[in-house]
């Protein structure tokens, strides 16, 4: 081994022990050599950087027109020499390349810029919102959608997406419930893994992948009252058995980055939470990726009452474990002084800079800092991308109710009524990145007309707006309904009613929409209700008026066609709810995996039902599936052994269909009270009419029967466990 390499490796070792690498000046820039390991390149580059250069790498600003209305931010098209990264708001790579070139012209060490953006459910090809995607129970399709999003984004100048959002959410008043994968920890974890795999692929280098970002770490979905940005009170037990579960799964899947959340947890903001950001993330889980704060989250520590000024905020966030400061420049303005004052060790600076440099090396930005500029026609909205979009939209829609075979539509004289009936824009949903209304391929009305063909008579009336008190359209709506054989009423939410800073005090639709439905129902025709929304809804007054209900969510650019396919019967719906629909808002929080009450038969509401209207996992089909009894490969098991449970599912209906089998476990007696049901496995398959298929859940006790305590230690207790599918249950005994 040459002296040169020995000195380098010594430096790497020094850095790895939290020291600061120092290289003699005569060394050639090893970091310029792509055949060297990332560790060696990072150590070499770090040793050459000044403190000021290091600190600039720890800040992120915006570039282009800030499209996030919730973040007060100016339009910025200039750059700050040496600043490490930007949120990139433009839809193609030109400005990004221009700024990259300017940076590299002045950068003493030629460190390229890193560009991030919120690619939440697509970049330009907009997919269903994540809450809808989870109702597809098709992890591979979600992975494919993220791979499409990664390709469009990377080829448009974005190296890093602030996605997936995996905050377990059980309060639909919170607008961001739209952005995650529902109420269940395991479900959020499975889709976190699918998203990380889709975004990052096998390598971060090249035009088909972007770095993923697990967010918002952690417990953001518990914001009090469903009000965004509010404090949370989460027990240490709940932190470990619910909110941290998806993050550990996403990190094990190789997520490159993570974002700290706005909320506090029991008085300690997530962004200044040393326990979470260092003891758990680094020391327990060994996460080596970048932690970026949320927008202004460092400065907001002052609002949260834990920092007197921006300097103290910078110190608390940085020493807790945040590496990169998004937007507020607290790190840029104060870290140097904090180092000089001895409040921030240089080793901590180096550890953060090292992670950011490692990400840039892994992304290949030193070798290829520029995005190859490709015209839109070759870069976005490709037919193959839309095909994935269509499949995911079809599989995420949920048939909630279907009395007397109202659906699929058999009548050809159809009235399409409601504020959502001929709307396109709101099909995009919140966080629609570079999605454009002109990319939406038709409204519900337009697609249903095309679907039913010239022999059908499809009429339309808007009836009312999304909200307000204008009832003047009711008359026309009733007239159109009167002349039809069946009425499709399309109600729902504007895309701005969910997402960030979009909390609502009730899950109910605006009164005007409920009144429209009641008016139309007076015509006595079969009523099919179609809902397009970003949260579970309060449907207690609506449900009795409808013969069928389809939850289409906010399905993206080909959602209208997907819905038309379901209404016509061309597509057999296969979605199932990943979040509970309560009867009414007052029941919140109401979710399937709650712990048993002390008096299960008492304590019910005196004035309303206590059970949900539609439970987690609910979803109908145009066919019927019959479940056989659960078959066990054994009824006892020991640690280290595996046990199989099987169920035979038969399609007893008249059409092919897709069915998801959800496998739950329960430990009825444990040293820590456990939920009455815990989802541990799910599988979706196509089962042809008349066909039977056997689904198998291979139980690994350590993985599937264990629990976690309030210190994050997983434990496994002998005893009886239930395994449940639908209304079937078997017992297994875990022996000492």
In the complex, which residues of this chain contact ligand GLC (CB under 6 A)?
Answer: 68, 70-71, 87, 118, 162, 215, 294-295, 500
The minimum distance between CB 505 and ligand GLC, in angstroms, equals: 21
Cα separation of 180 and 186, whole Å? 12
The minimum distance between CB 67 and ligand GLC, in angstroms, equals: 9
The minimum distance between CB 328 and ligand GLC, in angstroms, equals: 12
Nearer to ligand GLC, 118 or 159 (CB): 118
Nearer to ligand GLC, 149 or 521 (CB): 149
Q: Where are the beta strands (DSSP E) in 364-518?
A: 398-402, 413-417, 457-461, 486-492
Cα separation of 573 and 636, whole Å? 38
Cα separation of 112 and 114, whole Å? 7
Nearer to ligand GLC, 71 or 207 (CB): 71
Give the active site residue among 167, 228, 241, 294. 294
Nearer to ligand GLC, 289 or 463 (CB): 289
> Around 33, how many Cα atoms within 13 Å sit in the side-chain half-sphere?
12
Are residues 634 and 643 in contact, defined by beta-carbon separation less than 8 angstroms? yes
Which residue is it, tokens 């976005």? 380
Nearer to ligand GLC, 67 or 459 (CB): 67
Looking at the DSSP bridge assignments, the partners of residue 117 are: 161
Q: Is 35 left (phi over 0), alpha (psi -120 to 50) or beta?
A: alpha
Maximum CA pair distance of the chain?
90
SS3 235: coil
Which residue is it, tokens 């009395």? 403
Alpha helices of 330-470 — where are they, by DSSP H?
330-340, 346-362, 376-379, 383-396, 444-452
Pairing of strands 548-551, 527-532: parallel
The minimum distance between CB 128 and ligand GLC, in angstroms, equals: 18
DSSP summary character for residue 363: T
Does the annotation count 294 as an active-site position?
A: yes
The minimum distance between CB 86 and ligand GLC, in angstroms, equals: 11
Copy the structure tokens of residue 622.
């145009």
Nearer to ligand GLC, 70 or 224 (CB): 70
Copy the structure tokens of residue 297.
């989250």
SS3 34: coil
Nearer to ligand GLC, 328 or 519 (CB): 328
Pairing of strands 213-217, 257-260: parallel
The minimum distance between CB 213 and ligand GLC, in angstroms, equals: 8
The minimum distance between CB 458 and ligand GLC, in angstroms, equals: 40
Which residue is it, tokens 């979706």? 684
Pairing of strands 114-117, 160-161: parallel
DSSP string, 250-292: HHHTT--EEEE-SSEETTEEGGG-HIIIIIIIIIIT---SEEE
Cα separation of 295 and 501, whole Å? 13
The minimum distance between CB 130 and ligand GLC, in angstroms, equals: 12
Nearer to ligand GLC, 294 or 312 (CB): 294
DSSP summary character for residue 109: T
Return the active site residues. Answer: 294
């Amino acid at each position: 081994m040459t002296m040169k390499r020995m000195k380098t490796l010594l430096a790497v070792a020094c850095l790895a022990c939290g020291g600061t690498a120092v290289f003699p000046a005569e060394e050639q820039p090893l970091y310029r050599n792509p055949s060297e390991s990332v560790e060696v390149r990072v150590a070499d580059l770090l040793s050459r950087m000044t403190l000021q250069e290091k600190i600039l790498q720890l800040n992120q600003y915006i570039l282009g027109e800030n499209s996030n209305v919730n973040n007060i931010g100016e339009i910025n098209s200039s750059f700050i020499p040496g600043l490490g990264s930007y949120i990139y708001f433009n839809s193609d790579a030109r400005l990004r390349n221009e700024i990259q070139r300017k940076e590299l012209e002045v950068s003493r060490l030629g460190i390229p810029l890193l560009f991030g953006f919120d690619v939440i459910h697509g970049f330009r090809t907009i997919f269903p919102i994540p809450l809808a995607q989870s109702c597809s129970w098709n992890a591979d399709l979600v992975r494919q959608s993220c791979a499409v999003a990664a390709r469009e984004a990377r080829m448009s100048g974005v190296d890093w997406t602030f996605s997936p959002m995996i905050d377990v959410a059980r309060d639909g008043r919170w607008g961001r419930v739209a952005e995650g994968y529902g109420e269940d920890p395991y479900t959020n974890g499975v889709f976190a893994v699918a998203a990380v795999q889709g975004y990052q692929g096998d390598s971060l280098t090249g035009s088909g992948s972007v770095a993923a970002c697990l967010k918002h770490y952690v417990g953001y979905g518990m914001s009090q009252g469903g009000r965004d940005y509010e404090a949370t009170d989460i027990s240490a037990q709940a932190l470990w058995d619910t909110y941290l579960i998806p993050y550990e799964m996403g990190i094990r899947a190789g997520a490159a980055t993570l974002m700290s959340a706005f909320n506090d947890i029991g008085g300690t903001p997530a962004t200044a939470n040393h326990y979470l950001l260092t003891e758990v993330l680094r020391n327990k889980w060994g996460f080596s990726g970048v932690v970026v704060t949320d927008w202004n989250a460092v400065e907001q520590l002052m609002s949260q009452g834990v920092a007197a000024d921006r300097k103290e905020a910078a110190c608390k966030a940085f020493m807790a474990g945040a590496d990169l400061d998004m937007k507020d420049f607290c790190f840029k303005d104060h870290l140097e002084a904090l180092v000089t004052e001895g409040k921030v060790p240089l080793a901590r600076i180096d550890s953060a800079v090292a992670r950011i440099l490692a990400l840039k090396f892994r992304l290949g930005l030193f070798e290829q800092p520029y995005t190859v500029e490709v015209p839109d026609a070759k870069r976005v909205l490709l037919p193959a991308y839309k095909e994935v979009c269509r499949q995911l939209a079809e599989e995420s829609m949920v048939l909630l109710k279907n009395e007397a075979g109202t659906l699929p539509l058999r009548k050809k004289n159809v009235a399409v009524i409601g504020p959502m009936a001929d709307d396109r824009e709101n099909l995009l949903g919140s966080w629609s990145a570079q999605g454009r209304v002109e990319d939406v391929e038709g409204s519900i009305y337009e697609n249903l007309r095309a679907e039913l063909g010239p022999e059908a008579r499809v009429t339309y009336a808007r009836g009312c707006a999304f909200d307000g008190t204008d009832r003047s359209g009711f008359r026309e709506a009733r007239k159109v309904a009167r002349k039809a054989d069946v009425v499709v009423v399309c109600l729902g939410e504007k895309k701005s009613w969910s997402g960030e800073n979009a909390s609502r005090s009730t899950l109910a639709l605006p009164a005007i929409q409920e009144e429209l439905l009641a008016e139309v129902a007076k015509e006595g025709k079969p009523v099919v209700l179609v809902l397009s929304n970003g949260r579970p809804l309060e449907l207690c007054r609506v449900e009795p008026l409808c013969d069928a209900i389809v939850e289409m969510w906010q399905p993206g650019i080909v959602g209208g066609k997907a819905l038309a396919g379901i209404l016509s019967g061309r597509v057999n719906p296969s979605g199932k709810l990943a979040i509970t629909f309560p009867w009414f808002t007052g029941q919140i929080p109401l979710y399937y995996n709650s712990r048993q009450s002390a008096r299960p038969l008492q304590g019910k509401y005196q004035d309303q039902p206590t059970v949900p209207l539609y439970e987690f996992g609910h979803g109908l089909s145009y066919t019927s599936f019959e479940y056989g009894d659960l078959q066990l490969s054994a009824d006892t098991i020991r640690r280290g052994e595996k046990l199989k449970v099987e169920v035979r599912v038969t399609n007893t209906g008249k059409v092919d269909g897709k069915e998801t089998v959800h496998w739950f476990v329960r430990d009825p007696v444990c040293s820590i009270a456990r939920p009455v049901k815990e989802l541990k496995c799910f599988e979706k398959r196509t089962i042809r009419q008349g066909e039977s298929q056997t689904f198998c859940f291979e139980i690994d006790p350590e993985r599937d029967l264990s629990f976690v305590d309030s210190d994050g230690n997983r434990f496994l207790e002998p005893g009886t466990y239930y395994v449940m599918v639908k209304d079937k249950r078997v017992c297994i005994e875990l022996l000492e």
